[in-house]
Amino acid sequence: MKRSSVFGVVLLFLTLVLCSGFHAWAADPIKIAIVGPMQFTQGEGHWNGATMAAEEINKAGGISVKGTKRTIELIKVDSNEFLSIPDATNAMELAISKHKADFVMGGFRTEAVLVMQDIAMDNKKIFLGCGAAHPELCERVTKDYDRYKYWFRITPINSKHLVAVDFILLDMVAKAITKELDIPKLKVAIVAEKAAWADPMVKIAEGKLPQMGMEVVGVWRPSPTATDTTAELSAIQRAGAHIIFTTFSSSVGIPLAKQAGELKIPAAVAGINVESQKDGFWKATGGKGDYGLTVNTYARVKITDKTIPFFDKYLERYKEAPNYNAGTYDGLYLLKTAVEKAETLEADKLVPVLEKTEVTETAGKLVFTKDHDVTWGPGFVTAIGTQWQDGKNLCVWPNGWQGVKYEGTVEYKVPPVMVEHYKKKK
């Protein structure tokens, strides 16, 4: 063998040894599965929020576990939970068994998340919920702590608190209308999609609105996927409603807003309308959804020091505002803090640390309740109320509620079509 060939072989051998050596020295990444309906806005929010946080954390060196910096490796898992609960089950199995995820994050539809939660608990995997609001998910922690202690909800706030915010917003709208139009007794049309989560909301509203000094002129329950609400709107207008109190999580929120705008129904649309939280709502309604008000999580206001930078960066990168599923961003930072404090990835050791961890992230101060739910209230996560005003989804609440007002919050505006209608009447 020529001397040059021997030299080449030795060089190749050394290169291989060095490469494999470097691989051995580098710590394994921490695998985090982001499970959500990836073909839909909600799943995109999950993935986008997590991606931004993971990139930032990795750029800063990763998560320090016992002095070793470990990067984050995200695994995108499509749960397809809008269309199939079994698909969601398979997705969670896949994330844990095949991808060997250290943590799971995401979920949106309660029915799917309940099943996914069970699989994660069977495998003792920490599951940070970022999408489903149902109380049952956290009540399970109280009922059977040893089994469900690995579950924590990051976003949104519990649906019981969502209801509270919903009525606070309604009260704010009622006061604004009374002040501007001097209507002695406001009439409210309750319009709620026919879904299990909305049933208790309707019952509460029917009881609470008269106590708030308002008259319920009717309850309409369109299908969550209804594509035409003209008949409902004709009936609502005939009933003389001043406020259309919405409870929508599905697509029906778009035709209602669009058609109410097209028909210039002289009523304020307020309540929960998940579709109107998204930037795409403006285009989907052709701008007819203007002045609609909804409970929301993100807007360009200073909830904390981190909110506006996050909002701007998200908007610049994805060309839309973050939805509440992008709370995976907060979830990853929370996890980083807890892991660095616990110095381990072991779920059983991490759970008590997570329970005590307090971090201020983009949606507010994250502190968990006894049942591992995100704490709601002044000083914690409050949620916000956003109103579309001339094509911008602006924060209008909290605006002094319990002493809370986020910088950038604007006043709620009574829809001009309503002002015009009632001032003309006088």
Partner 1 sequence: MIQEIIINGLINGSIYALLAIGFSLIFGVARLVNIAHTALYMTAAYFILIGLDYWGMSAPLAALLAIVITTMLGLICYQLVIKPIREHEGAVLIATIALAMAIQEIFLIGFGGHYLGVPPAATGYLFLAGVKVAKQHLLALGVSVLALVGTWALLLKTRIGLGIRCTAQDREVANLMGINVNREIMMALGISVAMAAVAGVIVAPLRVIDPHMWMEPLIMMLAIVVLGGLGSIKGSFIASYILGFTEALVVFALPMGAFLKVTVALSIMILALLIRPEGLFGVVFEEER
Token readout for 364 is: 């507010």
* 230: contact with partner 1 by CB under 8 A: yes
- Nearest-angstrom CA–CA distance, 255 and 226: 8
**Among 37, 49, 129, 364, which residue sits at the site for partner 1 (rule: CB under 8 A)?**
37
* 107: contact with partner 1 by CB under 8 A: no
* 41: contact with partner 1 by CB under 8 A: yes
Which 279-298 residues touch partner 1, going by CB under 8 A? 280, 283-286
Q: Are the beta carbons of 288 and 257 closer than 8 angstroms?
A: yes
Return the DSSP state at 180.
Answer: H
Residue for token pair 């209608």: 421
CB neighbour list of residue 46: distance below 8 Å, 6 or more residues apart: 34, 35, 36, 38, 105, 106, 108, 130, 131, 325, 326, 328
Q: Which amino acid is at 409?
A: T
CB neighbour list of residue 303: distance below 8 Å, 6 or more residues apart: 362, 363, 364, 382, 384, 406
With contacts defined by CB under 8 A, name the span among 19-27, 213-221, 370-378, 387-395 that binds partner 1: 213-221
Task: Tell how far CA 406 is from the center of its chain.
Answer: 19
* 344: contact with partner 1 by CB under 8 A: no
Residue with smaller CB distance to partner 1, 251 or 375: 251
Shortest gap between Cβ of 386 and partner 1 (angstroms)? 18
* 161: contact with partner 1 by CB under 8 A: no
Residue for token pair 């649906």: 159
Which 46-105 residues touch partner 1, going by CB under 8 A? 82
* 317: contact with partner 1 by CB under 8 A: no
* 219: contact with partner 1 by CB under 8 A: yes
* 315: contact with partner 1 by CB under 8 A: no
* 44: contact with partner 1 by CB under 8 A: yes
Q: Are the beta carbons of 217 and 189 closer than 8 angstroms?
A: yes
- The full DSSP string for 372-383 is SPBPBSTTSB--
**Among 120, 181, 254, 342, which residue sits at the site for partner 1 (rule: CB under 8 A)?**
254
Residue with smaller CB distance to partner 1, 237 or 399: 237
Long-range contacts of 24-29 (CB under 8 A, 24+ apart): 27/65, 27/68, 27/69, 27/70, 28/70, 29/62, 29/70, 29/71, 29/72, 29/73
Q: Do strands 293-296 and 215-220 pair parallel, antiparallel, or not at all (unpaired)?
A: unpaired
- Give the count of alpha carbons within 13 A of 28, CB side only: 7
Write the CA distances from 370 to 60, 139, 356, integer angstroms: 32, 10, 10
* 39: contact with partner 1 by CB under 8 A: yes
Write the CA distances from 53 to 17, 101, 313, 339, integer angstroms: 34, 17, 11, 15
Q: Are the beta carbons of 58 and 127 closer than 8 angstroms?
A: no
Helix (H, G, I), strand (E, B) or coil at 276: helix
With contacts defined by CB under 8 A, name the span among 54-62, 275-283, 295-303, 405-413 that binds partner 1: 275-283
With contacts defined by CB under 8 A, name the span among 253-261, 352-360, 403-411, 415-423 that binds partner 1: 253-261
Shortest gap between Cβ of 165 and partner 1 (angstroms)? 24
* 375: contact with partner 1 by CB under 8 A: no
* 275: contact with partner 1 by CB under 8 A: yes
**Among 235, 367, 404, 419, which residue sits at the site for partner 1 (rule: CB under 8 A)?**
235
With contacts defined by CB under 8 A, name the span among 232-240, 241-249, 366-374, 418-426 that binds partner 1: 232-240
Residue with smaller CB distance to partner 1, 166 or 279: 279
Shortest gap between Cβ of 135 and partner 1 (angstroms)? 24
**Among 99, 124, 147, 194, which residue sits at the site for partner 1 (rule: CB under 8 A)?**
194
* 238: contact with partner 1 by CB under 8 A: yes
* 225: contact with partner 1 by CB under 8 A: yes
- Nearest-angstrom CA–CA distance, 25 and 35: 30
Binding site for partner 1 (CB under 8 A): 37, 39-41, 44, 82, 193-194, 218-223, 225-228, 230-232, 234-235, 237-238, 251, 254-255, 258-259, 262-264, 275, 280, 283-286
